[in-house]
């Protein structure tokens, strides 16, 4: 089971002046003015059972970049010869709807696309990894050029894969039903969550 998406428009911002490092009793100080050096899209896929990461950087998103990500995963033996490989994606323009599902199965007959519900891309586990990338690598954003940004993203991916473990979901359908019952006039709590 592969969870995939893209983190779009990651900018390479070079600070105009050097900041000061963290010291005892003082946080790191960072210059607020910066020069922009362009942006990248980080395409990534996460094997939810094995905690394997795959990723590449592209100038923009689209069907072509998504196809390259799929190739990166599906051309490896574990996935190439699997009976079925489920691809969990949101409804972004690179992989939206039935056309995308058909296209994916044409590229690889054993690949089956599963879309998250609209406005629920947070259910896709790759988003957890993207939040780690955001906190641990991209904040503060201080990269002198796109090449450095790309190298840092891919090096962090290699590092993270060495220490990664599958994410353990603890939120159950009972938790969801309880949460929805707190929303006034919510007819989703009636019978639909009982299944």
pLDDT along the chain (195 residues), means of 10: 94 74 78 76 96 96 96 96 96 89 96 89 89 92 90 96 89 80 64 47
Question: In the prediction, which pLDDT does 194 show?
Answer: 47
Question: In the prediction, which pLDDT does 186 show?
Answer: 53
> Is residue 161 within 8 Å of residue 53, measured between CB atoms?
yes
Q: Which helix (H) or strand (E) holds 11?
A: strand 2-15
> Is residue 33 within 8 Å of residue 15, measured between CB atoms?
yes
- 113 — phi, psi (to 5°)? -90, 135
Question: In the prediction, which pLDDT does 2 show?
Answer: 96
Question: In the prediction, which pLDDT does 139 show?
Answer: 85
Question: In the prediction, which pLDDT does 189 show?
Answer: 46
- 115 — phi, psi (to 5°)? -90, 140
CA dihedral 103, 104, 109, 113 (to 10 degrees): -130
> Domain-by-domain residue ranges, the chain?
2-19+30-164, 170-195
In a 3-state reduction of DSSP, which class is residue 53?
strand
> Is residue 8 within 8 Å of residue 61, measured between CB atoms?
yes
Domain 2-19+30-164 has CATH 3.20.20.80: no
List the one residue out of 44, 39, 46 whose CA is nearest residue 5.
44
Question: In the prediction, which pLDDT does 64 show?
Answer: 95
What DSSP designation does 59 have?
S
Question: In the prediction, which pLDDT does 67 show?
Answer: 97
Strands 2-15, 34-47: pairing is: antiparallel
Q: Which tokens sit at 150? A: 């790309």
Q: The pTM is what?
A: 0.80
Question: In the prediction, which pLDDT does 169 show?
Answer: 76
> Is residue 187 within 8 Å of residue 180, measured between CB atoms?
no
């Amino acid at each position: 089971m592969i969870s995939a998406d893209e983190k779009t428009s990651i900018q390479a911002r070079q600070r105009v002046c050097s900041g000061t490092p963290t010291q005892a009793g003082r946080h790191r100080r960072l210059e607020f003015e910066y020069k922009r050096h362009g942006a990248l899209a980080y395409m990534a896929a996460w094997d939810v059972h094995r905690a394997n990461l795959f990723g590449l950087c592209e100038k923009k998103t689209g069907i072509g970049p998504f196809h390259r990500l799929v190739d990166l995963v599906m051309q490896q033996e574990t996935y190439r010869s699997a009976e079925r490989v489920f691809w969990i994606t949101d409804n972004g323009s690179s992989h939206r709807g039935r056309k995308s599902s058909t296209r994916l199965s044409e590229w690889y007959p054993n690949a089956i696309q599963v879309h998250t519900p609209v406005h629920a891309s947070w259910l896709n586990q790759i988003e957890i990894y993207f939040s780690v990338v955001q906190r641990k690598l991209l904040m503060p954003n201080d990269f002198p050029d796109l090449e450095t940004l790309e190298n840092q993203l891919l090096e962090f991916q290699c590092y993270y894969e060495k220490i990664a473990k599958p994410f353990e979901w603890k939120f159950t359908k009972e938790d969801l039903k309880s949460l929805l019952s707190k929303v006034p006039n919510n007819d989703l709590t009636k019978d639909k969550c009982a299944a």
